[in-house]
Structure 1
């Protein structure tokens, strides 16, 4: 009889054990779902940061850097008298503007709604963090609004009347935009650090590397290989001229 009771107790204990494991499995599943939500928030924050950095780039600054590299190349090759027509300048400015637009992550209404829904999910588990993270699209829109206003300001007559005053005002405009950018980036980086820590050590380390850049991205066109590109273009042009001359001589 005692053996039968013990056997029954073993069976009951087994059921209890299975219940424990079932509970653990449920806990693991819930934790995985919470972690998935947190990682989604991390993705959105990284996209917001990428948008702010990319939108901070100025077509005119990029154009000026490009022209500077061209002048350095021409001086090195002792090519003088190169004047870029106004129409070409406008075309290049338009191109650089479109280029920046293409590399800037789009904050579509669908993207904003997705972020808002993810924050609502996060609020079920971490309401304080969710409250702190809501409305990130507003911060990024403020950067764009500031940039648009400063660009309009630069097109006023005040910037065109005197070169010295224009240079001074241009410096002030750049500093104002950079300061606003740093403030938004500092806020985003602080939140990225908190969220990435909740996602695990691997994500935290990767995010720490990403947020090292605290200022507006600078495009170093020296690394693009403009000199090699011009060498190739001039070589092709030289071959074309030689070919044309040969054709003229043969026809003659």
Structure 2
């Protein structure tokens, strides 16, 4: 075989290997960046779902208090039950506010960095996951959500207004 042909085949083979390794590297980087962004989105979704399911907590607690007191021969009066629901609702509001503020403070910067990194690897996916520029404002949106949650939003509670 001619040494020139062997040289050309070696060059072509090394170009193919370099292209495949570049493709594998970029695919790995894209997946890593996507996983990081999706992790932060999953954190937000988890907290929102947790707070959504906790909306019935005041009424459930009062029902459990009634059952426990009835076992011991005591009765929970309606004004006491309403007061308990309101107190638990206010506690839930404070807890939800603190959790949302903590989440916003914790993930705002890493989430933004992960989105920037993803936008370098896969701009279209980053744009799609970003929510068309809505998720960059995640801390502000969480603050608005926290401000909009009032104890009166919890079923079974009443507002002092």
- Sort the TM-score into its range (normalised by shorter chain): 0.5 to 0.7
Are 2:86 and 1:126 aligned?
no
Q: Does 1:68 align with 2:63?
A: yes
Once the two structures are superposed, the pairs formed by residues 8-87 of structure 1 within 5 Å of their partners are 8-56=4-52, 57-58=54-55, 61-75=56-70, 77=71, 79-81=73-75
Describe the shift of the 1:13–1:47 C-alpha distance in structure 2 as closer, same or farther (beyond 3 A). same
What are structure 2's unaligned runs of at least 5 residues?
none
Measured after TM superposition, the shift of residue 17 of structure 1 is: 0.4
Unmatched 5+ stretches in structure 1 = 157-252
Moved over 6 A (4+): 83-86
Higher relative contact order (CA 8 A, sep 6+): 2
Is 1:154 the counterpart of 2:159 in the alignment? yes
* 1:142 aligned partner: 144
Question: 1:82-104 deviations in whole A, cap 9, x for unaligned?
Answer: 67989xx59x7399549955994
Q: Secondary structure at the match of 1:154?
A: coil
**Alignment check: 8 A CA contact 1:41 1:118 kept:** yes
- The Cα shift of 1:11 comes to 3.8
Larger C-alpha radius of gyration, 1 or 2? 1
In 1: Cα distance, 2:130 partner to 2:90 partner: 40
Aligned residues: 146
The answer as to whether partners of 1:74 and 1:80 remain within 8 angstroms in 2 is yes
Over 3 Å counting, the alpha-carbon distance change for 1:55 and 1:145 in structure 2 is farther
Q: CA deviation at 1:115?
A: 1.3
Root-mean-square deviation (CA, aligned residues, Å) is: 3.9
TM-score, with structure 2 as normaliser: 0.66
Structure-1 separation of matches of 2:21 and 2:118: 21
Q: Is the 8 A contact 1:62 1:96 kept in 2?
A: no
